Amino acid sequence: MTLKDLFRLLRRHWLLLVLVPLATSVSIYFFGRNRDKKYTSDTVIYTGIASGYKIDGDNNAAGGGWNAASTAFDNLLSLINSRETREEVGLRLLARHLQERKANGATAATAQQAAIAPTGVLASVQRVLWPAQQAAADAPLLDSLAATLAGNTEAETLANLTAAYRVNNTNAVYKLLYSKHPYYSEAAMWNIAASRIKDSDLLRIEYSSKNPQVCRETLDILTQVFIRKHRELFVVQNANVIGYFDEATQKAYTKLQAAEKKLLEFHQRHNIVDYDKQMITSTEERQLTADKFNELEMQYAGASSALKSTQAALGTRGVSNLKSQEILRLSSRLSELNEQISEAELLTKSASTPDGAARVANLRQQAASVSSSLDAATTSYDADSRSVQGVAVKDLLQDYSKNALQVEDLRGQLNSMRRQKDNFTSQYNSLVPLGAEIRKIRREVEIAEKEYMSQVEGLKQSKLSQQNVELASQLKIVDPPNLPVTAGGTRLLVLLLGGCLASFLFTGAGLVTVDLLNNSLQKPALATKVTSFPVMGIIPSTTNLTQKQLLDAQRAEDQLARQLLLKMHQKDDSAKPFIIGVLSSQSGEGKTTLSTSLTTSLNHMKIKTLGLFPNDHAEHTWLEGHTAYYSPLQGLSQGVTVADLAGTRAYNNAVIIVEFPALLEATYPASLLQSLDLILVAVKATRSWEQADKKIFENIKNVTRAPIEVVLNGVLPEYVTDFIGARVKSASGKRAALPPRPLQGLLNP
């Protein structure tokens, strides 16, 4: 469909395009003139989600995480819009109003009127058409609830309403909450609109209602319910986590105490203060003792060898002296004292006490005394041991004394060092097997300690998180709900314009859809495509035509006659009349109109034309002298001609127009088809071309050699101009009509 076709379609149905939007606008105004005015109030709440500080010290990261902040705000908005929140707000508002009604003196008598209040569809219709009457109709129901459920306080009334609401889904409270009531229903709470103010910590909540006081009360109750639910939800959410970490911390602490006790008992049982240090000390002392023992053994071996050599030298001399026994006794005593001094020094070194130091000093004093006595005995023995010849043995005896003292001293040190070596070796051997066991116990202590510290850290973080949530859940109302004074517009003008425009568009779309789905033959180009026959001419519709359209209709008939004259020129034998058959599939297609119009037009052009009609048309008055009738049954025989039906005078005419009966409804003279020079198919433009039409004309096309062309009847005026062309005005505004030009050879002199 082109823009030109669209314009013609809309212009053709302009009355419908005007009446439908007008009726829609009138309906919108009629039903919307009594609409309630809307009052809007809002409140602003500070949340502190995006930029609030935390008590865990990480305040720089408190404002980070856009996704986390967005999720938190989404949680808040979902909590506001939740069904439970809407139900509680509706119940609290109803409880407050019932309490006010009871305080104002509502009686039980008014409760009986609730039974006659409209319900169901009637209530919905009244609420839309007569909101004031519906508000009055709601009053008995509210008075009934106030008389039966209102308590002494608002909290008691709320408890009664909640209990009644939860009984079943057929009670009055439940039905009221899930009705279309403008104040208390859950549907009314959908007028609550909550949104975040840009990227701030502020949350704006708006509510619209037809009552300004109810608007503010609803927002006030909503903020209280929302803040309480938010605090309960976010404060209690860490309780289970804290309980888990608290219990896990106690278990970990008990396990740690058991491991430490086991380690302590192990130390006490094996007399260990610090295993690692004791092990290192024992190893070092064992090694030092072994080295010193080896050194003393070598010194003792050398001193013993020297002493044996001196004793051998003295024995060879045969020196014998009584004092030699004294010297040996003193040497033995000195050796014992030196050995005791070594042991006392070792004991004093390991455990320094005043008694040990005094004992060491006493032993040293005795050793010094014995050593002096040994020197004196040796000197005396030296003086007595000189020979008469003057041979001196003093040096030999001094060496003997020195070696004897050294041997005895080393023997004492060796004995003491041997015992000390055995002691350190025994201590080392006792500590070595305890290494694996103490490492296992220490590992248990370490694991228990790590687990305990981990649980303590989790408990700490959960408690900090709870504190943070408690701080963050302290929502603050920075802009409380206001009492609106000015009502918002009812948008009736917008509805009128929108309804008018929408109805116009829908009507236009419907017309276009119907036109696209219409397969009628209104357009000549479409008729040629559908019927596969060329369109020779059109007959416009003559209903409610203007002067211009009447002129176009006359031009269309003249053009049809001229097209027919051109067809007549194409006939080879001009001595015989030009026979035209006018056919149609059904009756009422305009065959008679077409035949009469062509007969009249051709006769006006001085072309003798005869119209041959079926005998059922004889009751009509046609053109006298140019009309004849025939019986269609006569044309069924083979070889029947037009002259047989119309008489010999038929050959006195230049053109014979034969109207056939409806092909699909009556018997038609099929024998005449072979003698036709042209077949005109009259088709009503308002109908579609069916399969039966195609079949019948395909059969006729196989019988006759005459060309078949279509003449559309009842074509709309706008398509007439497309077919015959627009008329061009002359410069003077008037143009004289030219007389018709006679056809040579076709006129009967």
The residue assigned the tokens 């939740």 is: 82
- Closest by CA to 523, choosing from 708, 689, 664, 679, is 689
Mean pLDDT of 609-623: 71
* pLDDT at 394 (0 to 100): 57
The 202-209 sheet, strands edge to edge: 193-196, 202-209, 39-46, 476-479
* pLDDT at 446 (0 to 100): 86
Tell me how far the alpha carbon of residue 407 is from its chain's centroid: 102
Mean pLDDT of 79-107: 84
C-alpha torsion angle, residues 234, 236, 240, 245 (rounded to 10):
80
Candidate from 225-229, 402-406, 431-435 with smallest mean pLDDT: 431-435
Q: What distance in Å separates the CA atoms of residue 527 and residue 447, rounded to the nearest whole number?
A: 98
Q: Where are the alpha helices (DSSP H) in 540-587?
A: 547-569
Query: Is-contact 649 573, C-beta < 8 A?
Result: no
pLDDT of 737 above 70 = no
Residues 6+ apart with CB under 8 A from 630: 612, 613, 614, 615, 645, 646, 669
pLDDT of 275 above 50 = yes
User: Mean pLDDT, the chain, as a whole number?
Assistant: 75
Write out pLDDT tens, residues 675-705: 888 888 888 888 888 888 888 888 888 888 8
The residue assigned the tokens 């050194």 is: 295
* pLDDT at 580 (0 to 100): 87
Q: What distance in Å separates the CA atoms of residue 451 and residue 442, rounded to the nearest whole number?
A: 14
What percent of the chain is modeled with pLDDT above 90?
1
Query: Is-contact 252 455, C-beta < 8 A?
Result: yes
C-alpha torsion angle, residues 520, 525, 530, 536 (rounded to 10):
100
Write out pLDDT tens, residues 635-664: 777 777 777 776 666 666 788 888 888 888
Write out pLDDT tens, residues 471-513: 555 678 888 888 887 776 557 778 888 888 888 888 888 888 8
> Which amino acid is residue 428, in one-letter code?
Y
- Closest by CA to 44, choosing from 475, 405, 460, is 475
Q: Is the dihedral of CA 589, 595, 598, 601 positive or negative?
A: negative
pLDDT of 620 above 50 = yes
- Closest by CA to 685, choosing from 547, 580, 589, 577, is 589
Candidate from 24-28, 187-191, 275-279, 688-692 with smallest mean pLDDT: 275-279
List, in sequence order, every beta strand (DSSP E) within 370-438. none
* pLDDT at 34 (0 to 100): 65
* pLDDT at 418 (0 to 100): 77
CA atoms within 13 A on the CB side of 71: 5
Mean pLDDT of 551-579: 76
pLDDT of 164 above 60 = yes
Q: What distance in Å separates the CA atoms of residue 46 and residue 560, rounded to the nearest whole number?
A: 86
Alpha carbon separation from 47 to 59, 73, 288, 505 (Å, rounded): 16, 9, 76, 47
Three state DSSP letters for 95-137: HHHHHHHHHCCCCCCHHHHHHHCCCHHHHHHHHHHCHHHHHHH
Confidence of residue 220 (pLDDT cuts 50, 70, 90): very high
pLDDT of 744 above 50 = no
pLDDT of 389 above 80 = no
pLDDT of 66 above 70 = no
Residues 6+ apart with CB under 8 A from 354: none
Among 253-257, 544-548, 623-627, 743-747, the range with the most confident prediction by mean pLDDT is 253-257
What letter would DSSP give residue 688?
A: B
C-alpha torsion angle, residues 450, 453, 459, 463 (rounded to 10):
-140
* pLDDT at 396 (0 to 100): 65
For helices 394-431 and 275-317, the axis angle rounded to 10 degrees is: 160
pLDDT of 122 above 50 = no
Provide the whole-model pTM: 0.45
Token pair of 296, please?
């003393």
Alpha carbon separation from 740 to 133, 527, 633, 744 (Å, rounded): 80, 30, 38, 12
* pLDDT at 467 (0 to 100): 67
Query: Is-contact 89 222, C-beta < 8 A?
Result: yes
Confidence of residue 361 (pLDDT cuts 50, 70, 90): confident
Tell me how far the alpha carbon of residue 462 is from its chain's centroid: 30
* pLDDT at 370 (0 to 100): 81
* pLDDT at 115 (0 to 100): 42
Q: What distance in Å separates the CA atoms of residue 30 and residue 24, rounded to the nearest whole number?
A: 10
Q: What distance in Å separates the CA atoms of residue 121 and residue 450, rounded to the nearest whole number?
A: 71
Query: Is-contact 253 452, C-beta < 8 A?
Result: yes
- Between 22 and 423, where is the model more confident? 22
Q: By three-state DSSP, how is residue 520 classified? A: strand
- Between 319 and 699, where is the model more confident? 699
Confidence of residue 747 (pLDDT cuts 50, 70, 90): very low
Mean pLDDT of 425-445: 75
Mean pLDDT of 454-469: 75
Query: Is-contact 704 672, C-beta < 8 A?
Result: no
What is the separation, in whole angstroms, between the first and last Cα of the chain?
52
Mean pLDDT of 418-441: 74
Taking phi over 0 as left and psi of -120 to 50 as alpha, with beta for the rest, 437 belongs to: alpha
Token pair of 547, please?
């002067």
* pLDDT at 236 (0 to 100): 62
